[in-house]
Amino acid sequence: MNNPKISVLMPVFNGEKFIDAAIKSILNQSFTDFEFLIIDDGSTDSSLKIIQSHQDIRIRLLKNTLNQGLAATLNKGIIAAKGEFIVRMDCDDISHDTRIEKQLVFMGQNPEIGISGTWMVSMETNETNKYPQTDEECRTFKFFNSPLAHPTVIIKRELLISKNLMFSLNYPVCEDFELWRRCMQHTKLGNLCEPLLSYRVHGSNLSIKSKTLQTKALINYYNDELSVLGITPGSINEELHFALIRPEISDLIKSKYTFSDFELWSNVLVDHNTKNKVFEKTYFENLLKERLTIVALHYLKSWPTWYYYHKSVLTSGDFFFKEFFRFAIKVLIEKFKKKLAKK
């Protein structure tokens, strides 16, 4: 295909278990004017054989002789792509049938947006991962997490090429976070608030196998975000900040800190944002409030936690009664169910 509208970019490394379903989900899309650019990153399993079993003229297969890693392979794909838009796909996920069609319509309706994504659904739990809708929300959300779900994004290729916006090899594991941040200097971001991709969490996921590497890279990323807020990273406890911002993946919460440590640090972040007016105040504080609540749940047996949580600038008033108790009851019920299951 000489000038397809879309280049679907899918790197593959030892993905034999799920790749067949991933390929079929793209080939069965309602929108058909695309090339399917698959790059095998030195797989040693049967991935290559499975790819070659699909006889479809839209598939364009490139091969890395040796494993280059995700960032380098994606950069190779960006340069090789022929489409006006690049649509990302992972080899263990499933794109819903109308995904490309709906994302293309969204980009047409929002020409000021250079990169957008969608929500996505876990195949294991059937829960929907939701992402911020507007550019302003995305710019605030990036302080806490990636504002886009990487395997759902659609990108204007010309934006990446003209501004030399490639994935950095200096940010392994969270290379997407870092690229979106640089892209924000040149374009707006947004999300189509509909789940259009189903994703898997399994033992082969990079984020699980490389947790130490992930933590290190993320701390570097969050240090950069602190600088934007007007805080010099060297002056703060990096681990404490990381444990607050990403409590769902940090194992440092109860081992090294008390809840009051997190409460005090949260107030520092609020004060700096209020003073420097970097992020939209209400949305920023609500996101911070959610994370402080998750941290508090790790200290349920500690009565001082209830006091400090209630007195926090972020969580005082109605939020304490409505949210903390709701989350607390949910956690206690889950623990009770697990105990029953073991009997």
> DSSP label at 68?
-
How confident is the prediction along the chain (343 residues), in pLDDT tens digits per residue?
679 999 999 999 999 999 999 999 999 999 999 999 999 999 999 999 999 999 999 999 999 999 999 999 999 999 999 999 999 999 999 999 999 999 999 999 999 999 999 999 999 989 999 999 999 999 999 999 999 999 999 999 999 999 999 999 988 778 999 999 999 999 999 999 999 999 998 755 544 456 677 778 888 889 999 999 999 877 677 888 988 888 777 666 666 787 788 888 999 999 999 999 999 999 999 999 888 887 877 665 554 555 555 556 565 554 545 655 666 666 677 667 667 766 5
Task: Indicate the fold that domain 6-204 takes in CATH.
Answer: Spore Coat Polysaccharide Biosynthesis Protein SpsA; Chain A (3.90.550)
Residue ranges per structural domain of the chain: 6-204, 210-342
10 and 90 in contact (C-beta within 8 Å)? Answer: yes
pLDDT value at residue 321: 52
pLDDT value at residue 316: 53
pLDDT value at residue 207: 46
pLDDT value at residue 38: 98
Picking from 114, 239, 275, 89, the residue whose alpha carbon sits closest to that of residue 187 is: 114
Question: Which amino acid is present at 58?
Answer: R
pLDDT value at residue 218: 85
Which pTM was predicted? 0.86
Q: For residues 286 and 82, give the distance between their C-alpha atoms in angstroms, rounded to a whole number.
A: 41
pLDDT value at residue 199: 97
- Residue 256 is encoded by which pair of tokens? 């090294």
Q: For residues 38 and 8, give the distance between their C-alpha atoms in angstroms, rounded to a whole number.
A: 8
**Strands, DSSP E only, in the chain?**
6-12, 34-41, 59-64, 85-88, 94-95, 113-122, 128-129, 154-156, 188-199
Count of CB atoms within 10 A of residue 49's CB? 10
Picking from 181, 111, 102, 186, the residue whose alpha carbon sits closest to that of residue 148 is: 181
pLDDT value at residue 37: 98
